[in-house]
Structure 1
Amino acid sequence: MWIDTHCHLDAAEFDADRDAVVARARAAGVTQIVIPAVNAHHLERVRELAHEHDLTYALGIHPLCVMGAAPGDLDRVAEALAKHADDPRLVAVGEIGLDFFVPGLDPATQQHFYVEQLKLAQRARLPVLLHVRRSADQLLAGLRRVGFTQGGIAHAFNGSEQQAQAFIDLGFKLGFGGTLTFERSLQIRRIAAQVPETALVMETDSPDIPPQWLYKTAQQREADPGQARNEPAELPRMAESLSALRGWTVAGTAAVTSANAIAALPRLAAFS
């Protein structure tokens, strides 16, 4: 059994063959997928997809979307969390966080949306899916300032060993996406090999963060503009990289990471 803890199944890249994407995932042994929202306009969409395909979802506003958010969008998230509080398929608040890599994003606006959504998650007693991109220290500071106790997943983690341990100490699991499959991702691979086994979950971040075998260089993209799309069916092959780093069997990796996903997002237990 595999659990993809982060897949944007609502993305336009899946519009042409979404049913087939889910079918391929299940054929590959991916029994559960978490669909995080990225903006207030997709809150109902991710919920509908989760119910339609027997999956799970999270509600929140992504840091890359906060600059285009309307004044009432945080209220919309709060209302959706309240409306669906008893929906067992609602497993987290997310995707939320901070991104200090992409230019043009106002730090103060990001911080406001991040902290306010942490408060919403704390009030709803739900874990969070955190976007971590050159922002680990600031994310950790926000968690401590709010006194956040619900845990969750530091998604696409790319920080240091010390930052990884700080998230773990606060009750978080770590996901790495397709970056883990690149041999040159030395720091991420070192962290994945060294942290406690209870800290690791699997995620694809589909359709983004393609694994090494789907990645195209700039020269290859120029010759062939079509970008190979990542999808949940790639998860078991991605897990082979983690298995090799840890000296685990692939079946063992499935068991460990699925148990960790349920520990991070307890409502997953009803669907796994």
Structure 2
Amino acid sequence: MNKPAATDGPVSPVLSGWFDSHCHFDFPVFAQNRQAVWQHCESLGLTGLIVPGISCEQGKQLASFCQGRPWWFALGLHPFFIDQHTMDDLDWLERALVTSDCVAVGEFGLHRVRQMDPAIRLRQRRLFDAQLQLAQQYRLPVILHGVGAHDEIILALRQTRFDQGGVIHAFSGSEQQARQYLDLGFRLGLGGLLLRPNAHRLRRTVQQLPLDAWLLETDAPDMAPAVVASATNSPVFLPLIGVALARLKRVTPATVRAVQAARIGQIFRRSTDLSI
């Protein structure tokens, strides 16, 4: 059974301001002050975020976690947590893709840096291929994690003729790789790496590509921007990244917000809108 494609409709109020396209807001580090953090986010103009899935156990909680909130969620099996996954988790994932209001399959992908065990690399690839197939079958975009594996991922997308698009999370590859992803219908996740003093290649790539090639994200609580004192990242830093992107592209922050809203709404269309 195929999940019905979402239809175009009114723009969700979630997309009226800054939007964090990748935030692990369900992680325990936020448990004690999550509401206060979100109120701070709202005071800075954030109106929504996407919580990625990383495992079966965590994914089962995401619908209730996001219910009644301006938070969307994806479902997937993250390669970094390969020891937590079984092939049976794919059966759960398929059922959840049909019955839930998730906006994407992910976060999944290939994590090759410092991972030389052939058996683990093979398990990563099998889970990657299976999740890509599910996304194609149920006409959902993907949130892809690629560390040391961009060429392998690009080849797989081409060979499978995947045409549902999505986002390459925390992209830091070459301009050539970036353009290949764009040609395949993807957008590139842009986070705190942009603010690092030594991120010269990334800033050059941002300058060379169109503004709508990028989707803003924090990856909180990981990858805190170098310009902030906190070791724990937070969605409150999303506007900092947006302003940095605006300056680099020589446009206003309002322009960045508008372009982001258009792209988020186009890629992650929901079958039902949230009442918030």
Same fold per superposition (TM over 0.5): yes
**3-state secondary structure, aligned to 1:53:** coil
- What is the RMSD of the two structures over their aligned residues, measured on CA atoms? 1.8
Q: Which ranges in structure 1 are unaligned for 5 or more consecutive residues? A: 216-226
Q: Say if 2:198 is the partner of 1:184.
A: yes
Task: Say yes or no: does 1:34 pair with 2:50.
Answer: yes
Question: Following the alignment from structure 2 to structure 1, what is the Cα–Cα distance between the partners of residues 270 and 87?
Answer: 31
Quote the Cα distance in structure 1 between the aligned partners of 2:186 and 2:87: 30
Which stretch has the larger CA shift, 92-101 or 13-22?
13-22
Structure 1 residue 104, shift from structure 2 partner = 5.7
Aligned match for 1:72, one of 68, 82, 88: 88
Q: Quickly say closer, same or farther: Cα 1:164–1:266, change in 2 above 3 A.
A: same
Greater per-residue helix proportion: 1
The more displaced of 21-30 and 162-171 is 21-30
Structure 1 position 161, deviation (Å): 0.6
In structure 2, relative to structure 1, the CA distance for the partners of 1:42 and 1:82 (3 Å cut) is same
**1:13 aligned counterpart, secondary structure:** helix
Give SS of 2:108's match.
Answer: strand
Q: From the superposition, tell whether residues 269 and 152 of structure 1 become closer, same or farther in structure 2 (CA, over 3 Å).
A: farther
Q: How does 1:76-155 map to 2 (within 5 A)?
A: 76-84=92-100, 87=101, 90-103=102-115, 106-155=120-169
Structure 2 distance, partners of 1:256, 1:94, is 23
Check the 8 A contact 1:91/1:265 in 2, yes or no.
Answer: yes
Preserved contact between residue 262 and residue 268 of structure 1 (Cα < 8 Å): no
Measured after TM superposition, the shift of residue 9 of structure 1 is 1.0
**Equivalence for 2:215:** 201
Q: Secondary structure at the match of 2:215?
A: coil
With over 3 angstroms needed to count, the CA separation of the structure-2 counterparts of 1:102 and 1:27, relative to structure 1, is farther
Given that residues 246 and 252 in structure 2 are in contact (C-alpha distance below 8 angstroms), is that contact kept between their aligned partners in structure 1?
Answer: yes
In structure 2, do the counterparts of structure 1 residues 124 and 192 end up closer, same or farther at CA, with 3 Å as the change threshold?
A: same
Residue identity in the other structure for 1:207? P
CA contact (8 A) 2:87 2:127 kept: no
Q: Percent identity?
A: 36
Q: Which amino acid aligns with 1:237?
A: L
Contact 1:59 1:93 (C-alpha < 8 Å) held by counterparts: yes
Question: How many residue pairs get matched?
Answer: 257
User: Contact 2:144–2:168 (CA<8 Å) still a contact in 1?
Assistant: yes
Distance in 1, matches of 2:208 and 2:148, equals: 21
Q: Deviations over 1:195-250 (max 9, x none)?
A: 122211110111111112236xxxxxxxxxxx621111111112121111101111
Secondary structure, counterpart of 1:206 in structure 2: coil
> Could you tell me how far apart the structure 2 residues matched to 1:52 and 1:44 are?
17
Aligned partners of 1:3 and 1:32 also within 8 Å: yes
What are structure 2's unaligned runs of at least 5 residues?
1-16
Q: Please, which of 146, 167, 176 is the counterpart of residue 181 of structure 2?
A: 167
Q: Contact 1:214–1:229 at 8 Å: present in 2 too?
A: no
Distance 1:25 1:229, change over 3 A: same
Q: Normalising by structure 1, what TM-score?
A: 0.89
Who is 1:218 aligned against?
none
The match for 2:235 among 215, 232, 237 is 232
Is 1:13 matched with 2:29? Answer: yes
SS in 2 for 1:148: coil
2:75 to 37, 52, 59: 59
| 1: CA distance, partners of 2:153 / 2:47 | 30
1:134/1:158 contact within 8 Å kept: no
Q: 1:253 aligned to 246, 252, 256, which one?
A: 256
- Give 1:181 deviation, angstroms: 0.9
- Matched-pair contact (CA < 8 Å) for 2:115–2:121: no
SS at match of 2:60: helix
The letter of the residue matching 2:60 is E
Q: TM-score, normalised by structure 2?
A: 0.88
* Counterpart residue number, 2:4: none
Letter in 1 for 2:153: L
